[in-house]
């Protein structure tokens, strides 16, 4: 049975003693098993919001209710020294010290990625690296995983492959909740249970893809980008694209 695992109320973030706000009036909730996507305009504070959820950044005012035990945060970028020949298995072990080699092999096999285990981490493609980061996060057995713009630097085909992986993640871990940031409105609309819109450091709306797609403010900001797809969340195991 689905239950509320996270609730944010009136979150505000200021870096200049409340003269201006990087985030303001952010309120939403998340249920177990849901995929919640944040769509944004550049500079709207999406990374700051994820860091607040992950307790990596303290807001200026807030009320946050958490009903989960473990959270995993996958940043948009990681710094890897190209001169250090770190293998995928070694990288995963750094962040999951108690995990056995067999567990690493098993979860990579689930996501058709066993061939990556002996590769050097800095030699991976953008899509391969993103898969390794997510697999590493899953090994910590999170109830909630935060993905900061996971498809950045990945082409359109790579984005589709990423969302196929998210579908597989949900198949294997149906109670796992996911919050991700994306600029691809069409894929967000197609693959999410809920959507949050941030614009000009402010909160536009929060709701199902259909509710967000019908919101006049969102239509004005994003125009046709919220319109082309019917909603097919992963819970329904559908990924078809349909013109309205």
- Confidence tier at 202 by pLDDT (50, 70, 90): low
- Statement: residue 33 has pLDDT above 50: yes
The full DSSP string for 105-143 is: HHHHHHTT-GGGTTSBGGGS-HHHHHHHHHHHHHTT--S
Rounded Cα distance, 83 and 162, in Å: 28
pLDDT band for position 222 (cuts 50, 70, 90): low
Mean residue pLDDT across the chain: 84
What's the pLDDT tens digit per position in 127-153?
Answer: 899 999 999 999 999 999 999 988 877
pLDDT at 43: 61
Q: What angle do CA 147, 117, 168 make, to 5 degrees?
A: 45
Is the pLDDT reported for residue 178 higher than 50?
Answer: yes
CA distances from residue 201 to 14, 29, 42 in whole angstroms, order as listed: 11, 19, 9
- In percent, how much of the chain has pLDDT > 90? 45
d(CA 239, CA 244): 15
Secondary structure element (H or E) that encloses residue 90, with its range: helix 88-95
Residue 33 and residue 15 in contact, taking contact as beta carbons nearer than 8 Å: no
Q: How confident is the model at residue 32 (pLDDT cuts 50, 70, 90)?
A: very high
Q: Would the pLDDT of 240 be above 60?
A: no
Backbone angles phi, psi at 186, to 5 degrees: -65, -45
Query: pLDDT band for position 212 (50/70/90)?
Result: confident
CB 194 within 8 A of CB 34: yes
Distance CA 173, CA 176 (A): 6
Mean pLDDT (whole number) for 72-92: 85
* Each residue's pLDDT tens digit, 38-59: 887 666 677 889 999 999 999 9
Burial (CB < 10 A; 0-12, 13-18, 19+), residue 174, is exposed
Residue 165 is predicted with a pLDDT of: 92
Q: b/e map of 178-211 (b: 16 or more CB within 10 Å)?
A: bbbbbbbbbbbbbbbbbbbbbbebebbbbbebee
Domains of the chain: 1-70+142-244 (3.40.50.300), 78-141 (no CATH)
Contact between residue 166 and residue 11 where contact means Cβ atoms under 8 Å apart: no
Kindly report which listed range (62-66, 81-85, 127-131) carries the lowest average pLDDT score: 81-85
- In the sheet that holds 144-147, the strands lie side by side as 61-66, 4-13, 23-31, 202-207, 194-199, 35-40, 177-181, 144-147, 71-74
**86-124 pLDDT per residue, tens:** 999 999 999 999 999 999 999 999 999 999 999 999 899
Per-residue DSSP letter, 201: T
- Summarize the confidence of residues 230-244 as an average pLDDT: 44
């Amino acid at each position: 049975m689905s239950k509320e695992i996270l609730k944010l109320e009136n979150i505000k973030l200021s870096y200049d003693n409340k003269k201006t706000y990087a985030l303001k009036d952010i309120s939403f909730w998340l249920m177990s098993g849901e995929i919640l996507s944040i769509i944004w305009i550049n500079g709207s504070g999406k990374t700051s919001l994820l860091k607040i959820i992950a307790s990596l950044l303290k807001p200026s005012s807030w009320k946050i209710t958490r009903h989960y035990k473990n959270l995993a945060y996958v940043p948009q970028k990681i710094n890897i020294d190209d001169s250090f020949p770190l293998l995928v298995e070694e990288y995963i072990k750094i962040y999951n010290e108690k995990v056995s080699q067999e567990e690493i092999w098993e979860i990579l096999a689930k996501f058709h990625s066993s061939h990556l285990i002996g590769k050097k981490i800095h030699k991976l493609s953008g899509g391969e690296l993103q898969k390794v980061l997510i697999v590493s996060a899953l090994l910590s057995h999170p109830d909630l995983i935060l993905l900061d713009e996971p498809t950045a630097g990945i082409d359109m085909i790579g984005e589709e492959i990423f969302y196929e992986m998210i579908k597989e993640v949900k198949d294997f871990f149906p109670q796992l909740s996911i919050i991700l940031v994306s600029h691809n409105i069409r894929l967000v609309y197609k693959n999410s249970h809920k959507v949050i819109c941030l614009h000009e450091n402010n909160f536009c709306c929060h709701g199902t893809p259909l509710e967000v797609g019908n919101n006049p403010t969102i239509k004005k900001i994003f125009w046709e980008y919220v319109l082309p797809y019917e909603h097919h969340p992963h819970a329904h195991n559908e990924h078809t694209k349909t013109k309205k």
